[in-house]
Amino acid sequence: MRLMMEGFGLRRRSAFYAFIFLCCWGVISGAAEYVKYKDPKKPLNVRINDLLGRMTLAEKIGQMTQIERENATAEVINKYFIGSVLSGGGSVPSPQASVETWVNMVNEMQKGAMSTRLGIPMIYGIDAVHGHNNVYKATIFPHNIGLGATRDPALVKKIGAATALEVRATGIPYVFAPCVAVCRDPRWGRCYESFSEDPKIVQEMTEIIPGLQGEIPANSRKGVPFVAGPNNVASCAKHYVGDGGTHNGINENNTIISQHGLLSIHMPPYYNAIIKGVSTVMVSFSSWNGVKMHANHYLITDFLKNKLRFRGFVITDWRGLDKITSPPNANYSYSIQAGVHAGIDMVMVPYIYTEFIDDLTLQVKNGIIPMSRIDDAVRRILRVKFTVGLFEKPYADLSLADELGNKEHRELAREAVRKSLVLLKNGKPGNEPMLPLPKKAKKILVAGIHANNLGYQCGGWTIQWQGLSGNNLTAGTTILDAVKSTVDQKTEVIYSENPDEDFIRKTGASYAVVAVGEAPYAEGFGDSLNLTILSPGPKVIKNVCRIVKCVVIVISGRPVVIEPYVNMIDALVAAWLPGTEGQGVADVLFGDYGFSGNLSRTWFKTVDQLPMNVGDPHYDPLFPFGFGLTTQPVKQN
């Protein structure tokens, strides 16, 4: 009995000691689990410093690496500690991918990042330059050249907010937008990404940044990145700096200009972007007076980071380091040294990321690139990730799924189309104004290959990088559809892409709407020395406008050669690249709203005059900067 009692007591003491041990272990393990960088109550810099102090060189260099979606398996992200993933133009999880497909893809990648030792979330970036332009059924807004013609920063801010919601709907927290280039030569194939040739207008239109990111609090330190919450995205001012001023408008070329010229024309939008809390800045492929921007220590580190006190991160353009040398990738090791030393923090290496990681690691270990430079880069990247809220909410959900391409955003895009249209001519001399058009007519002719082509209407950076032709790329309304839905039910609308004179006469049309312009293009492929209207556009203008009263709508990313045809045209409208909501064109043509847009670019007579911008001594335009006729809405039409 005594032995039994002693055994019972021993078991009780053992159980007690085990309980004490477990309690102590719980306290110890709980303390081990608590880390400052995971505590949202801690100040931002405390969290950054705590995390940075725990990181190995491999983890730091991983944070500096951004790879293309195609390579970004969870395993790759985990193995190399990859800090960021991007979709290049047209890079999607599947054709016509749903919101759910996008969210699942991003979350699957995020699992790879969150399962690393420190669990630093990756940040996914995408071009959203006129709405969420890679994504099927997203709202496609007018390109920036059209938004510049609205002179309406409040509208542009709303567009930023709508775009942010659509991007977040697909699980993405970071956009490579806005482009704040000041395009000084329309021969440049990215000119439509620029709001204006006038830096003041581009500065005003940086209101898109608080639209995308949320309004920065009044007492915030200037230059510190700001993202308001889960309905907003980190934005990127691009392409730093002088990308719109290259010689002959050639993409990625040399911008030949004095420092005063650079600072007074191309730099001002960056001042506004930084004051508004822009999260990141993307470096331009171009050079300034022969020095590649990706290797320009003075402009990236001395000026942007030190003088302007920008505290977000600086990112390369697509394979931007490769292009430091000519030909590209001739000496990749040198390119890494030059770019990282210049002050670049995150490197877009879509495909050869292992080569980049290995080479940069070697350079740090050999003292070629100091650890302080690496720490500066990673500190900036972490600052943006903390600001975006990725540590608190690394995974996306489907709570915003209904935001993609919703009615409210399409109505906003339609408003933007209305306000972006510039009326260049309204009636021949001595005649009554032609616009607004009457809705009641027996027959109307609609002509031109741009009248019924949603792809042409949207332009480049739409579903595909260079854009597409046709009406099956995404959801939207063509100009032809818009005309049909606007005119009186008894009015017959006749459509022909390229009508001959006999066809035109036989229609007996009261008047014609002719839509002509450029085919879609993006950077590089869009550079043009002749800036002509796509065939058979000129022929359609001549055939139609000789026989019937005509309004010509120009769908283009920039001013094009129109001077030879102006006298034969009754009314002329610059519609730029209006996007998916073609109904906005008909709204103004038929007088439901008045024309109010003003040229954000000078319209030249001949390409021989280029470059020509307002204020130049040889200024002799066809239509000057700021030009735009107005009309009044018609109550009963």
Across 597-629, b (16+ Cβ under 10 Å) vs e yields: bbbbbbbbbebeebbbbeeeeeeebbbebbbbb
Q: Tokens standing for 141? A: 């807004």
CA angle 17, 19, 20 (to 5 degrees): 65
100 part of the active site? no
Q: Which of 197, 207, 415, 523 is catalytic?
A: 523
Strands, sheet with 174-175, edge to edge from the N-terminal-most edge strand: 174-175, 123-126, 84-87, 65-68, 347-348
H-state helical runs in 34-84:
44-54, 57-63, 74-80
Q: Which of 317, 359, 403, 570 is catalytic?
A: 317
State how far the Cα of 437 lies from the Cα of 553, in Å rounded to an integer: 13
State how far the Cα of 507 lies from the Cα of 500, in Å rounded to an integer: 11
The distance in angstroms from the start CA to the end CA of the chain is 109
Looking only at the bridges linking them, the beta strands covering 287-288 and 291-292 are: antiparallel
State how far the Cα of 226 lies from the Cα of 310, in Å rounded to an integer: 12
Contacts of 434 (CB under 8 A, 6+ apart): 426, 427, 511, 549, 551, 570, 571
> Phi and psi of 511, rounded to 5°?
-160, 170
Contacts of 533 (CB under 8 A, 6+ apart): 516, 517, 518, 541, 554, 556, 560, 561, 562
492 part of the active site? no
Q: Which of 489, 565, 481, 552 is nearest to 517 (CA)?
A: 552
Whether the CB-CB separation of 562 and 622 falls below 8 Å is answered with yes
| Tokens 């775009």 -> residue | 163
* Type of residue at 602: T
DSSP one-letter code for 54:
H
Task: Please confirm whether the linkage preceding 241 is cis (ω < 30° from 0).
Answer: yes
State how far the Cα of 335 lies from the Cα of 332, in Å rounded to an integer: 5
Q: Which of 589, 556, 587, 592 is nearest to 574 (CA)?
A: 556
State how far the Cα of 63 lies from the Cα of 300, in Å rounded to an integer: 19
Burial class (CB in 10 A: 0-12, 13-18, 19+), 42: middle
State how far the Cα of 69 lies from the Cα of 462, in Å rounded to an integer: 18
> Which residues are tagged catalytic?
317, 523
